[in-house]
Structure 1
């Protein structure tokens, strides 16, 4: 059905490019594996035991131990050894540490801070001269320099010395890129684009698996386990994506909102990057479905609904009852019914003592809708809010605070009521996630020209309020993105009891580097992520 044929459809329409995948994953049949899945599972289980033994029998140096833990993260198999890694990290933290190796000191700093254990930036003072600048001799150690560069991205507010370390390391890494040997050359190239602490584990794993055999610490058993684990999980994700694509295509056909972006595969991919582990299947699908529902809601308010229609849709969602259906224009009734039914399905998926979680998710969805409505009112009255009012609303309308709440719904026992209260309050790392999403999204849209049907962006609000140039506003928002990342880093210490969930919301923040890299909106213009999605869901790792 064309958008102009939708009953009650206004002329306010934007035509998005169609899905780049269509029915690909519905009809896709993967090539037969080199060995059966059952044989792969048996082999992987044996290798897991071998690696667990390495934790018990390890008698190497501190540097070797740190490198081993980092390798498990790089290869994407740290999820198999959470308990052993946490124990090892705590033991390292409790052990006196004194090293003159820049690589080792920076790795120690990064790994401990990632696990919410305090390390002072003073550990890098030994590599500085009397004037406070880094000694030039460390530029002869590219591996150490890359380690310093990545570690410094775990800075907290009020640590300018780490900002200086980033600038120093980046400058020298860029100047030596052409002379580095593989695989360090590739790692430098990738990290100069997206530093390691902002890189998604699952995405980086497929790169590092290919590089690991060239590392001096190479362990064949560890590499084989990484390959088997990647391929076994990929098979699971292929089956899920086939079923999810059917669900999504049926949804789009049923509700008939042809003006909305069809990004079914991208929604699953985004959910998968946050929750790729086998035992998070329910959580992964709930999150992906929420992303689809929110995307359709966003496009309705932004690109299609009149002010009155948006008000009626918001009223219906705030009431959250079938009695609100007559309020709605004809073309939104099926969406509302499917939305309600989908939330009921979420409830049916959960154990009895977890069903309360859906109420938190519903509340977050309603809050998101209210912010869409606020922005719609600003648009229809041609009003540009103050920057502060804009941000207060638009970090919620960015969607990620609601999606984080949604990501907890299908999780295990770690998703406690305390976790939901923290998430729904949109403080600390959750708020920072919304800020990174909002500002990166607005910087992308500003670079490529704001759609005339969209509310003024935070960039425009800043320019309008403070009467500054585009360049000043852009630099300000880029700085606010960096500050938000530091807030996320700080939350690992301030909310250490919720550290696994802080790291989950940090993963959502990391995913923004894929959606808005180089100020591109790769959700709307999804061809930019096609190769990456193909790599994750179609290409197995050669065994």
Structure 2
């Protein structure tokens, strides 16, 4: 059977690739500079770890953990943070602890997958679910903490509905009168709650916000700046690898001119899932698959006729190379690219005895 002819394809116009060869031609931080930065990080890292281990006060521990998460450095101290949160989960909150401490603890426990009952907020509410003495006994930190915690409730947990609503209204009324640090904290929360923020963007933005805090920990701020630079350099190298893979190995602009070129966006998406350095290989692989899936989507939307796409779908479902000869040249090339990408990743995973994961992915 001869290859299916190319005719009557729908036409779409996508925004062109904005990045070009930027990540290929622009060098990231030099290896010597990175080595110096890493040495300084290793030196500074001892202090936050010591602070987490030695702090016994719930409020201080939770504020420190929250600050580390905002700054994007909490991944360095996962063991210490887990120990603190597990201890709070076992012992519970003290009856005398204020709303900020309870709300922050509730949010962090749920954020880390630990059970936390919303009943801990009962003592701050009246019979109707309103905050007791709204605006008179609670600080801005209290109201902000409760508002952020409300996003970690499940749909059937109604206890904070009214309280969070009134807390938001009160924060909106006073935000312009707050000091620069609290104004930033409140306005950012009102715009995008903590739960919905992308971690890397949050780290970059919060570094500037934290500089406004009068009682900031200078050592922690310096540590966060250096760590951000180090992680950003790694992400730059990953983008360089992906850009070269796309340009020299795939040559997608020539083979699939109808498709979106979104390799940088695919990588950015994956940094939102896991940004930590230890996931570098997984991030690169996932970005490749996302990029190829975007092209696949455009093949179905922009490129193929119904007859071609039916055969193309059957080829992918069966994963049989012999059926490729019946496909148009560009669809044949796409299938080979997808197959080779999975095979290359499978070879890499053999070193970790995890190559079976590619078989699961291929089956899906």
TM-score of the two chains, using structure 1 as the length reference: 0.62
Aligned to 1:161, what secondary structure does the other structure show? Answer: coil
Structure 1 counterpart of 2:195: 197
CA distance in 1: counterparts of 2:53 and 2:242, whole angstroms: 41
Structure 1 counterpart of 2:287: 288
Alignment of 1:76-91 (within 5 A): 76-91=72-87
CA distance in 1: counterparts of 2:343 and 2:158, whole angstroms: 49
CA distance in 2: counterparts of 1:240 and 1:213, whole angstroms: 30
Structure 2 counterpart of 1:451: none
Alignment of 1:285-364 (within 5 A): 285-351=284-350, 353-364=353-364
Alignment of 1:12-161 (within 5 A): 12-30=10-28, 36-59=33-56, 61-97=57-93, 98-138=95-135, 141-161=139-159
Q: Is the 8 A contact 1:11 1:304 kept in 2?
A: yes
CA distance in 1: counterparts of 2:169 and 2:302, whole angstroms: 43
Q: Is the 8 A contact 1:271 1:288 kept in 2?
A: yes
Taking a change above 3 Å as real, the CA distance of residues 142 and 26 of structure 1, as seen in their structure-2 partners, is same
Q: Is the 8 A contact 1:255 1:335 kept in 2?
A: no
Alpha-carbon RMSD: 2.2
CA distance in 2: counterparts of 1:296 and 1:252, whole angstroms: 13
How many residues get paired? 357
Shift of 1:100: 4.6
Alignment of 1:359-438 (within 5 A): 359-364=359-364
* Residue of structure 2 aligned with 1:211, choices 209, 215, 218: 209
Residue by residue over 1:439-497, the C-alpha shift from the partner in whole angstroms, topping out at 9 and shown as x without a partner, is xxxxxxxxxxxxxxxxxxxxxxxxxxxxxxxxxxxxxxxxxxxxxxxxxxxxxxxxxxx
Structure 2 counterpart of 1:279: 278
Shift of 1:157: 3.2
Alignment of 1:453-492 (within 5 A): none
Alignment of 1:484-523 (within 5 A): none
Q: Which moved more, 1:113-122 or 1:277-286?
A: 113-122
Alignment of 1:200-279 (within 5 A): 200-215=198-213, 217-250=215-248, 251-253=250-252, 256-279=255-278
Q: Is the 8 A contact 1:8 1:330 kept in 2?
A: no
Shift of 1:314: 0.8
Shift of 1:95: 2.5
TM-score of the two chains, using structure 2 as the length reference: 0.91
Aligned to 2:75, what secondary structure does the other structure show? Answer: helix
CA distance in 1: counterparts of 2:59 and 2:213, whole angstroms: 14
What 5-or-longer segments of structure 2 have no aligned partner? Answer: none
CA distance in 2: counterparts of 1:285 and 1:357, whole angstroms: 16
Shift of 1:358: 0.3
Shift of 1:96: 4.1
Aligned to 1:109, what secondary structure does the other structure show? Answer: helix
Q: Is the 8 A contact 1:255 1:332 kept in 2?
A: no
Shift of 1:31: 7.1
CA distance in 2: counterparts of 1:144 and 1:46, whole angstroms: 35
Report which structure shows greater RCO (CA 8 Å, sep ≥6). Answer: 2
Taking a change above 3 Å as real, the CA distance of residues 232 and 205 of structure 1, as seen in their structure-2 partners, is same
What 5-or-longer segments of structure 1 have no aligned partner? Answer: 1-6, 365-543
Q: Is the 8 A contact 2:270 2:283 kept in 1?
A: yes
Structure 2 counterpart of 1:538: none
Taking a change above 3 Å as real, the CA distance of residues 176 and 26 of structure 1, as seen in their structure-2 partners, is same
CA distance in 2: counterparts of 1:168 and 1:206, whole angstroms: 30
Q: Is the 8 A contact 1:99 1:105 kept in 2?
A: no
Taking a change above 3 Å as real, the CA distance of residues 115 and 32 of structure 1, as seen in their structure-2 partners, is closer
